[in-house]
Amino acid sequence: MHLDQKVSLKTLHTFGMEVEARYFVEAKTHSEVLTLLNYRHMIHMPILFLGGGSNVLFTRDFPGIVIRIHSKGITIREQDDHHVVVTAEAGENWDEFVQHCVNNHWIGLENLSLIPGTVGAAPIQNIGAYGVEVKDFIESVQVVEIDSGKQKRYSNIECEFGYRDSIFKRALKGKVIILNVTFKLIKVGEPGGERVAEKSLLNLDYGDIRGELQRLGVTDPDIGDVRTAVCNIRRKKLPDPAEVGNAGSFFKNPVIGKALLDSLQSRFPEIPSYAQLSDDDFKIPAAWLIEQCGWKGYRNGDAGVHPNQPLVLVNYGAATGSQIVELAKKITDSVQQRFGIRLETEVNILGSL
């Protein structure tokens, strides 16, 4: 390991802000993570553990040590004719891991294709897209406690997953580092094998997946076709962080009660809603709320709202974190004023304003 000073973080987080870390080091193995945890007790400055940087917004330079988790490895733990249990290290690129699963004909994660970030970040946010949440396929998460250096494995239930939520965002925030994640996925045969069974296991009913498959001329889709369709849809709707700085969805889709929904439907009959497991809870698309308030495509300097997906706030080049936060506050206030719904952010905002 090598400790560097005054390191630019511009290329290490997807918003692409011009910020730097006072010190920076990369940990590629579990033992290096443990060594750094021991070292942290000898210093008196802030420490930030950074994965793919796809869900953070820096509002200023980081005044301490940034430790980038860059561990690699994918290991099959067990398998039978129907399932495979596979562990991926926290530093693995998420989409490359999904591609690996698709290449091996393991069903489950294909609808989560092209989501930026690392495997280690996936359970924290309980990432989800196109009718699938990663919690549905996580068997366990291995962590190390920052204070004690002890390792522990959390079962799916112990992770306390919720909508874009987990114990790692609440009770364990800042207390543990995720080392690896173990998934239980469904095995199918090579293309041309168990085709009927495979098709019945694919999730095709959310968003534009069926429409995109039809556009591609696919009538009997397999897992690879679904990944292709999802990637195509995401590329059309969402900006590539390599071209326009962003962290994906900046806001969560709010969940409201039936009483508020009834009240809103009387004023806005066209408001979309999706019933949740609880009979009294309904998810409202935040993108629809934001667009109704006139923010879609808005730009002030280099801080803006994406013209195709109003959930995404973007840095067109030289925006600062504080400018993005200010824009987010204006959007949140306008939605609250018009609909009585307070939007919550998905992105982790670092540094005081």
Q: Which residues are catalytic?
A: 164, 249, 346
Nearest to 97 by CA among 25, 185, 22, 23: 185
**How would you classify residue 66: left for phi > 0, otherwise alpha for psi between -120 and 50, otherwise beta?**
beta
159 close to 168: Cβ distance less than 8 angstroms = yes
**CA–CA separation, 348 and 140 (whole Å):** 23
**How would you classify residue 98: left for phi > 0, otherwise alpha for psi between -120 and 50, otherwise beta?**
alpha
What is the secondary structure of 51-115 as a DSSP string? SS-TTEEESS-EEEEEEEE----EEEEEE-SSEEEEEEETTSBHHHHHHHHHHTTEESSGGGTT-
56 close to 50: Cβ distance less than 8 angstroms = yes
126 close to 152: Cβ distance less than 8 angstroms = no
C-alpha 167, offset from chain centre: 15
**CA–CA separation, 96 and 116 (whole Å):** 10
333 close to 350: Cβ distance less than 8 angstroms = no
